[in-house]
Amino acid sequence: MNKKPIHILLVEDSPSDAILLRQLFSRLNSGEWELIWVERLNDAIESCSDFLFDVALLDLSLPDSDGLETVAKFNAAAPDIPIVVLTGADDEEMGLQAVAKGAQDYIVKDQITVQLLVRAIRYAIERGQILKQLHDSERRFRGIFDQTFQLMLLLSPEGIILEINKTSLAFCGGKQNDFVGSPLWEINCWHDSEVTQEWLKSAIANAAEGNFVRNELQMCGAESAIVWIDLSLKPLKDERGKTVLLIAEGRDISDRKRAEIEVLKSLEKERELNQLKSSFISMVSHEFRNPMTAIRTAAQILQSYGDRLTEEQKIKYFDQIKNAVNNTTQLLEEVLLLGKTDANRLQYQPATLDLKDFCRELIENLQFTATEQHNITFTCAGECSQVEMDEFLMGHIFNNLISNAIKYSPQGGNVRFNLTCQNDTAIFQIQDQGIGIPLKDQQHLFETFYRGSNVNRIQGTGLGLAIVKKCVDLHRGQIQVKSDVGAGTTFIVTLPLTRFAEVPRHTIECTV
């Protein structure tokens, strides 16, 4: 079976040296070798474009190129053809430098023998094939390394970045030089988080000992947005089990984290709704039972003994029914109003209002309900005549606050209602001389169905102050409470006197 001949390109401008090399090849099996001779580098490069050579014998001193530049030019034009440099005895150092620049071997012309020539050619071809395989393997690795959708870095066992793929560069923003040579924990993606940096140092030390490490971390992306990544460190060991490389991989899990947060919010919302449902059922079963019992008892007495009752007694039982119906209606209205606020269906709708007249009318209605058991005093300071407020929300705020002041004050107690208008702001103060609110209860006052621990048998639903807070928030106001047990309570409500404008929303970004 005939072997495929080895095709040799001889690039030599000296005819005598070329003839000498031809004579050496003539001593070998003629079918095993094929030699093509050119005198100039440009001719050699042109020949390589027309024919596939196995090896090139390259003189460094040519008419159109000289020295190591000759190797560089030929290598650039024909990178897959191994080179054996031909050099004179006094240029042996140049031959060594040529090998360092990419040639596979060199031969001193005055020392060429057939055996030396054959060995150099075969060695160059073999080494060239190995290098080609390495280059192909490196290209495949680089293609996979750069095209993977995951963030990937190669680290030294000490955590120094040796390689970083294109996905990571696009994700973090920057160039190779910004990362290669730096410790992983010092790159700007960690947003100067000392906690994360310390964890990375510890994780790298752990991985260098041969352990797989993984964690979920926050980092700063290319557009200065905080993202979550799933980061792992895998040790790569040599045949003796020593860690020689760390492979860092990261996946963007921001969408998953956001989904987890939404699920947790939904679960928390469901828990709150279940708690509200339980509280609502408990409250309704208690608060509706009393008026329903009163209505049923009064109705049975009127039905069974109506003909024996005096007109005064009949009026008494009819008043009990009417009060019970009013209490039930008020409770239903509070529940419906609270439902509107939770469903975002209660809106802020300001209109021109004479605030002083509004407050006076409110006091008159409440004083009529309180009869002579309590005394409500009202004072007003500042210009409060022409303001823009939501009368519906205002009614719920102050009806609840003043009604509570009356409810929790002793008979004959004074309730003060003060209004001050200044600097486009209305400040309302409702002060009573009632039982007061324990300090431990004050932070929960505006929670739905919450009632103070000292209310005892005083009836209430725990909805009033929750409605007040939501109405104040819709007005973009503030509410404060000052109270001492046994010494009374003061609520301070601050509301804008004019229609407010929508406040633009801003996104929060991280800075690097």
Among 86, 78, 125, smallest CA distance to 106 is for: 86
Residue 435 CB: number of other CB atoms within 10 A? 21
Alpha-carbon distance 512 to 505, whole Å? 22
58 to 288, 318, 499: CA distances (angstroms): 107, 123, 89
Alpha-carbon distance 102 to 83, whole Å? 8
357 Rama class: left (phi>0) / alpha (psi -120 to 50) / beta:
alpha
Phi, psi of 40 (to 5 degrees): -125, 155
Domain annotation for the chain: domains and CATH numbers: 6-144 (3.40.50.2300), 149-252 (3.30.450.20), 260-341 (1.10.287.130), 347-496 (3.30.565.10)
Structure tokens, 155: 């680290």
C-beta of residue 503 within 8 angstroms of C-beta of residue 374: no
Among 229, 176, 173, smallest CA distance to 199 is for: 229
What was the pLDDT predicted at 418?
A: 94
pLDDT in tens, the chain (512 residues): 456 788 889 988 888 888 888 888 777 766 688 888 999 999 999 998 888 888 989 888 899 998 888 888 998 888 888 988 888 766 778 878 888 888 888 888 888 888 888 888 888 888 877 777 766 666 766 666 666 778 888 899 999 988 888 888 877 777 888 888 889 888 877 766 788 889 999 999 999 999 999 888 888 776 667 888 888 898 988 888 889 899 888 888 888 888 888 888 888 877 766 666 666 656 565 566 677 788 888 888 888 888 888 888 888 888 888 877 877 777 777 767 766 666 566 788 888 999 999 999 988 888 776 656 778 889 999 988 888 999 988 988 998 898 888 888 887 778 899 999 988 899 999 999 888 888 888 888 888 777 777 877 776 667 778 888 888 998 899 999 999 888 889 999 999 988 764 433 333 333 33
> Half-sphere exposure of residue 475, counting CA atoms within 13 Å on the CB side?
29
The sheet with strand 33-38 has its strands ordered as: 33-38, 6-11, 55-59, 83-87, 105-108
Collapse the DSSP code of 255 into the 3-class scheme (helix H, G, I; strand E, B; otherwise coil) and give the result: helix
- What string of DSSP letters covers 33-99? EEEEEESSHHHHHHHHHHS--SEEEEESEETTEETHHHHHHHHHH-TTS-EEEEE-GGGHHHHHHHH
- What string of DSSP letters covers 368-401? HHHTTSSEEEEEEES--SSEEE-HHHHHHHHHHH
What was the pLDDT predicted at 512?
A: 30
Alpha-carbon distance 133 to 407, whole Å? 92
C-beta of residue 9 within 8 angstroms of C-beta of residue 47: yes
C-beta of residue 376 within 8 angstroms of C-beta of residue 393: no
Alpha-carbon distance 363 to 359, whole Å? 6
What was the pLDDT predicted at 505?
A: 36
Residues in Cβ contact with 338 at an 8 Å cutoff, skipping those fewer than 6 apart:
448, 463, 466, 467, 470
What was the pLDDT predicted at 428?
A: 94
In the chain, the amino acid numbered 414 is: N
Token pair 């008159």 in the structure block, residue:
364
What was the pLDDT predicted at 1?
A: 46
Alpha-carbon distance 175 to 161, whole Å? 13
Among 38, 94, 43, 88, smallest CA distance to 71 is for: 94
What was the pLDDT predicted at 324?
A: 77
Structure tokens, 103: 């040639």
What was the pLDDT predicted at 78?
A: 87
In the chain, the amino acid numbered 403 is: S
Alpha-carbon distance 375 to 356, whole Å? 19
Token pair 């407020």 in the structure block, residue:
389
Residues in Cβ contact with 330 at an 8 Å cutoff, skipping those fewer than 6 apart:
none
Alpha-carbon distance 226 to 166, whole Å? 20
> Half-sphere exposure of residue 5, counting CA atoms within 13 Å on the CB side?
14
